Amino acid sequence: MNRIRIVDNKIVDYDQANHLFINDYNRYSSLSFNQDTIFIYINANMEIELDLEYNYKAQDIIMVLDGNSHLKLFVHNTGTNKHGQIKYIILDNCKLVVNSFGNTKIVDEKIELLLNGVNVKIEYHFSTISHDNQLYNINIHHNNQQTYSNIINHGIALDKAKLQFNVNGYIAKGNSKSNLNQRNKIIVLGANQSIINPNLYIDENDVEAKHSAVIGRFSHRDLFYLKSRGIDEEMAIKLMAKGFLLAIIDIPSKKREEIIKSINAHWE
């Protein structure tokens, strides 16, 4: 599987062992940048891993997966604030796996997942931690038959943070045998101002759909367990917060270390 990493509109080495030149990359797929938009086109029948790290204040990303391609994407947004849109256009028999971590102060972001082809599968796993205001609008459009989406969002709201997940799943009439799942959870570690709207808009009978939304604090029972092993409350919460954020995202170990550092920084 090819692996590339994009940081601030430039392709950089993923690591020494997997150095992939842009020319090699262009043979299979295309990648273009302009001031406001990153456009990534994954050619048909490709299998690729992409590590997308960006820190722009306002930037749109459009990503197209052509037939039978398989993309595993890691998205890491590190900027101080973010207003933009990421649109995924997915064609027949493609599989998209997104693992995304947000560590941005102020966010107003729109994620559009367009399952346009038949037999498209999406795993979208997102974690975020915030001291400030973060708004995520995630729209999942099942525009064809036999489409599958599994959306998992985890967030930790610190202090006076306001974290909002608006997750809208759409299945239009005729798009039968589709399966739509969404699971959203926010752990509040300060004042509770967070909101989850887990909406399903379904106009077809022959589908399966599940949704859940939980906003709460870490359980006393879990805290008691950790404390009963000598761990103080602050450390117990840090451990559980890291666990909660990282449990749902599958990322390379080097990246994982970076993320753990950035999570720890919230308590420094």
- What is the rounded distance in angstroms from the CA atom of residue 26 to the CA atom of residue 17? 19
Residue 128 or 144: the one with the smaller Cβ distance to other proteins is 128
Beta-strand relationship, 30-33 and 37-42: antiparallel
Residue 214 interacts with other proteins (CB under 8 A): yes or no:
no
Among 105, 110, 227, 266, the residue binding other proteins under the rule CB under 8 A is: 227
Residue 234 or 268: the one with the smaller Cβ distance to other proteins is 234
- Which residue in 96, 92, 189, 109 sits closest to 143, CA to CA? 92
Residue 261 interacts with other proteins (CB under 8 A): yes or no:
no
Residue 245 interacts with other proteins (CB under 8 A): yes or no:
yes
Among 47, 239, 258, 262, the residue binding other proteins under the rule CB under 8 A is: 239
Single out the segment in contact with other proteins by CB under 8 A; choices: 33-41, 51-59, 175-183, 237-245: 237-245
Residue 244 interacts with other proteins (CB under 8 A): yes or no:
yes
Among 10, 27, 220, 261, the residue binding other proteins under the rule CB under 8 A is: 220
> Would you give the DSSP letter of residue 245?
H
Q: Which two tokens stand for residue 15?
A: 């690591």
Among 30, 80, 243, 250, the residue binding other proteins under the rule CB under 8 A is: 243
Angstrom CA distances, 154 to 22, 38, 72, 129, 179, stand at: 34, 26, 19, 9, 21
Residue 73 interacts with other proteins (CB under 8 A): yes or no:
no
Helix (H) and strand (E) counts in the chain: 4, 17
Among 233, 257, 265, 267, the residue binding other proteins under the rule CB under 8 A is: 233
Single out the segment in contact with other proteins by CB under 8 A; choices: 20-28, 51-59, 86-94, 217-225: 217-225
Q: Where are the alpha helices (DSSP H) in the chain?
A: 22-28, 220-227, 233-246, 253-264
Residue 177 interacts with other proteins (CB under 8 A): yes or no:
no
Residue 235 interacts with other proteins (CB under 8 A): yes or no:
yes
Find out whether 152 and 126 touch, Cβ atoms under 8 Å. yes
Residue 228 interacts with other proteins (CB under 8 A): yes or no:
yes
Phi-psi region of 143 (alpha: psi -120 to 50; beta: other; left: phi over 0): alpha
Among 221, 253, 261, 268, the residue binding other proteins under the rule CB under 8 A is: 221
- What is the rounded distance in angstroms from the CA atom of residue 40 to the CA atom of residue 57? 19
CB of 156 to other proteins, least distance (A): 12
Beta-strand relationship, 178-188 and 207-216: parallel
Binding residues (CB under 8 A) for other proteins: these are: 220-222, 224-233, 235, 239-240, 242-248
